[in-house]
Amino acid sequence: MKITVIGSINIDLVYDVSHIVKPGETIHSTGYHTFFGGKGANQAVTMAQLGAQVDFVGCVGQDDFGKRALSNLADYHISTTYVGESGVTGNALIQVSETGENAIVLMNGANYHVTPASVKDAEAAIVDAAAVLMQLEIPLESVVAGMDIAVANHVPVILNPAPAQKLSKTILSKVDILTPNESELAILTGMDITTEESIIAACDVLLEQGVKGVVVTLGEQGAYFTDGKESGWVSATKVKATDTTGAGDAFNGALTVGLCKQYSLRKAIDDASKVAGYVVTQKGAQVKIPTDLLPSES
């Protein structure tokens, strides 16, 4: 099972705090950690642990963080043939509160050196994949370049639209599975997302714009999905959250693996929710996944 990730690689600088700092406020951190991160890398590491052969298309800096990030991906047997080295490695400043909530400031760095040309250089990896998973932490034109190659070669496109931004109907029509959370869904559609009915209505708007399937992640409330034929709600695993930083990325990685295994959308979501539920009980965005959470064949 080959999956190609086109996306971001970061180093996460995480500060434990009593609460998320307010404007003008200074607070003390109770702990500090350095973790490997970046939405693309987080998703790739999840998929590699779940049995996928992952090719990564991205860029790190010409610095120690970049060397460490490449070594980390290699430890998970993720191919970095198409990972360039330029500038400064992207990083994220993350606050994690006592309740597990987080606030993140991103510095794009080398992630914005992922150009359409570098994506096209990785065409062989895209064409040979069972699916391509992307996010929006690299330039949008580079995301579109990856989509165009995938669509032309009938490779499914899974897009995690984060950080959120408006996307044209032309772009959305290239997406097989779109995975927004509630706030991203609101930005994508321009709708107020306050009720279950508004979630359903917003997803219908996305389907009308050409997206083939939508999975809305709702944190501890689970997920809503629709592909125009089947729709429904999937409950989340009840856990005590320690750090929610990598939950969405783990969900997207596990969802993609499930879909590549030809699971139904509902089963792929259920398995992905279990993986994400475990990840939030651990520190950091790239968590070692226990074997009992590996996708089943039933």
Residue-wise pLDDT tens digits, 83-106? 999 999 999 898 989 888 888 888
Q: Is the pLDDT of residue 298 over 50?
A: no
Grouping H, G, I as helix, E, B as strand and the rest as coil, residue 191 is coil
The secondary element (H helix, E strand) that includes residue 131 is strand 131-134
Q: Which of 9, 42, 69 is nearest to 249 (CA)?
A: 42
Burial of 117 (0-12, 13-18, 19+ CB in 10 A): exposed
In the block, residue with structure tokens 């998320």: 20
Grouping H, G, I as helix, E, B as strand and the rest as coil, residue 41 is helix
Grouping H, G, I as helix, E, B as strand and the rest as coil, residue 270 is helix
pLDDT tens digit string along 219-274? 888 899 999 899 999 987 777 776 666 789 999 999 999 999 999 999 999 999 99
What rounded mean pLDDT belongs to the chain?
Answer: 93
Q: Is the pLDDT of residue 295 over 70?
A: no
Q: Is the pLDDT of residue 294 over 70?
A: no
Q: Is the pLDDT of residue 7 over 60?
A: yes
Q: Is the pLDDT of residue 133 over 90?
A: yes
Lowest mean pLDDT among 57-61, 140-144, 202-206, 245-249: 245-249
Q: What is the pLDDT of residue 226?
A: 97
Average confidence (pLDDT) over 120-148: 98
CB 243 within 8 A of CB 284: yes
Lowest mean pLDDT among 27-31, 245-249, 281-285, 287-291: 281-285
Q: Which residue has the higher pLDDT, 279 or 135?
A: 135
Average confidence (pLDDT) over 283-295: 73
Q: Which CATH architecture has domain 2-21+30-291?
A: 3-Layer(aba) Sandwich (3.40)
Global pTM? Answer: 0.89
**Is the CA virtual torsion 187, 188, 189, 192 positive or negative?**
negative
Beta strand pairing status for 102-107 and 90-96?
antiparallel
Average confidence (pLDDT) over 66-76: 97
Beta bridge mates, 96 = 16, 102
Q: What is the pLDDT of residue 281?
A: 80
| Residues annotated as part of the active site | 249
In the block, residue with structure tokens 């330039």: 139
